[in-house]
Structure 1
Amino acid sequence: MDDLLGVAILGAGHMGADHIRRVDQVVSGARVAVVADPDRDRAEEAVAGLAGVAVHTDPLAALDAPGVAAVLIASPGPAHEEALLAAFARGLPVLCEKPMVPDPAGALRVVEAEARLGRRLAQIGFMRRYDTEYRRLKSLLDGGTLGRPLMLHCTHRNVSSPAGFTSAMLVNSSVSHEIDAARWLLGQELTAVTVVRPTPSAGAPAGLLDPQFVLFETERGALVDVEVFVNCGFGYQVRCEAVCEAGSARIGDAHTMVVTTTGGAREEVAQDYLVRFADAYDREVQAWVDATRRGQVTGPGAWDGYTASVVAEAGVRALETGGRVAVELAPRPDLYAAPGR
Structure 2
Amino acid sequence: MEPFAYIRATTLQEATTAYASHPGSRYLGGGTNLVDLMKHGVETPGTLIDLTRLPLHDVEELSTGALRVGACVSNTDLAVHALVRTRYPVLSQALLAGASGQLRNVATIGGNLLQRTRCPYFQDVSKPCNKREPGAGCAAREGPHRDHAVLGHSAHCIATHPSDMAVALAALDAEIELYDGERGTRRVAAADFHRLPGEHPERDTVIRPGEIVTAVLLPTVVPGAVSAYRKARDRASYAFALASVAAVLHLDDGRVRHVALAFGGLAHRPWRATTAEQHLTGAVPTDEAVREAVDAELAGARPLRDNAFKVGLARNLARDVLSTLVRSASGGSAPTGRRP
Give the TM-score range, shorter chain. under 0.3
Normalising by structure 2, report the TM-score. Answer: 0.27
Structure showing greater relative contact order (alpha-carbon pairs closer than 8 Å, 6 or more residues apart): 1
Of Structure 1 and Structure 2, the greater strand share is in 1
Normalising by structure 1, report the TM-score. Answer: 0.27
